[in-house]
Amino acid sequence: MLRIPCPFCGLRDHAEFDYEGDATVTYPPLDAPEDAWFEAVFLRENPRGRHREYWRHTQGCGAYLIVERDVTTHEIFGAELAHPGMASAMEGAA
């Protein structure tokens, strides 16, 4: 069982979360050409080692997190809020 440190809720089982894909992809603007969208939607690197990925704390606070995980060992190095505004607000609160 992976355990993810949610900034709001604390260390929780991954069963509370949904995996939501690669967090390193930058999505183009809506009016960008087909090629740019094709790349963002379909093309993925598959690197060994540390990876940044989105997880949604579906059974908890609902926040989207960026989780850093080693895809070969499953070691989790940390999690931050995906929304920069929420992330800085949390920092301010801390």
What does the binding site for other proteins look like in residue numbers (CB under 8 A)?
A: 1-3, 13, 18, 20, 23, 27-34, 36-38, 41-42, 54, 56, 58, 62-64, 73-74, 76, 81-86
- C-alpha closest to that of 81 among 66, 94, 70: 66
CB of 47 to other proteins, least distance (A): 19
The rounded distance, in Å, linking the Cα atoms of 82 and 24 is: 11
Strand partners for 46: none
CB of 73 to other proteins, least distance (A): 8
Which tokens is 2 given?
Answer: 């992976």
CB of 51 to other proteins, least distance (A): 15
